[in-house]
Amino acid sequence: MFKRSDLATLIDSETLTKRIGELGEEISRDYEGKDLAVIGILKGSFVFLADLVRAFDIECTVDFLGLSSYGSATTSSGVVKITSDLTTPIEGRDVLVVEDIIDTGLTMRYLLDNLQTRRPNSVRICTLLHKPANARCEVPIHYKGFTIDDHFVVGFGLDYAEKFRNVPYIGYKR
C-alpha cells in the first residue's frame, strides 16, 4: 500500500485539460449529425468521461458499463467480468467507448466482441491512456489522450484498491 505523498506526477492537470479539449473537438467533428451513444467504462473512466463530454459541441447520450479485470491487483488477471450492463439499447447507433486506460487490450477486445452482438452502427474507442508495453492483443484506438510507459498509474479516475481516483492528475508510485 502507498500514500498520496508517495506519488510522482506523470501528467499534470493542465496538460490533461488541454488534451481532453482537443479530443472533444476532434470527436465533435467526426460525429456531427450522428446518433452518438457514449459508453463510459466504470469505474475508472468517470472523471475523463465527464470532462470529455463537456468538451463536445454535439448531442450525445451517456451510459455506463462496468467491467473488471484487475480486482485490487496492479496487473490484469485476464479474466473480464461485466459488473454492470448498459441501460439503453445501442442497436443502429454510433458508439464511442470511453476508457481510462488500455493496457493488455484483453478487456477491450472482450468488450468490442460483446458490443458487436448488440448491432451498433459503429464502435470506436477513446482512451485517456495507452500503455503499449503490456499489449497482449491489438485493439483499434481511434482517439488517444496519451501513450505512457509501463507505470502503474492512479488519479483522474484510475485507482489502486479503489483509492486515489480523486487525485486531479495522473501519478505513479515513486
Average model confidence (pLDDT) for the chain? 92
Q: Residue type for 166, please? A: N
The three grid cell numbers given for residue 11, joined into one nine-digit string: 501528467
Judge whether 85 lies within some domain: yes
| 103 counts as catalytic | yes
Tens digit of each residue's pLDDT (9 = 90 or more) over 99-110: 999 998 888 999
Judge whether 162 lies within some domain: no
Tens digit of each residue's pLDDT (9 = 90 or more) over 126-173: 999 999 998 889 899 999 999 999 999 999 999 998 999 999 999 998
Range of the domain at 103: 13-153
- pLDDT over threshold 70, residue 122: yes
Domain harbouring 122, CATH code: 3.40.50.2020
Judge whether 171 lies within some domain: no
Residue 27 and residue 126 in contact, taking contact as beta carbons nearer than 8 Å: yes
Determine how many CB atoms are found less than 10 A away from the CB of residue 1: 6
| Interatomic CA distance for residues 68 and 42, integer angstroms | 8
Q: Which is the catalytic residue, given 103, 113, 149, 159?
A: 103
- Beta bridge pairs of residue 62: 38
- Is this prediction's pTM over 0.85? yes
Domains held by the chain: number: 1
Burial class (CB in 10 A: 0-12, 13-18, 19+), 83: exposed
The three grid cell numbers given for residue 121, joined into one nine-digit string: 452502427
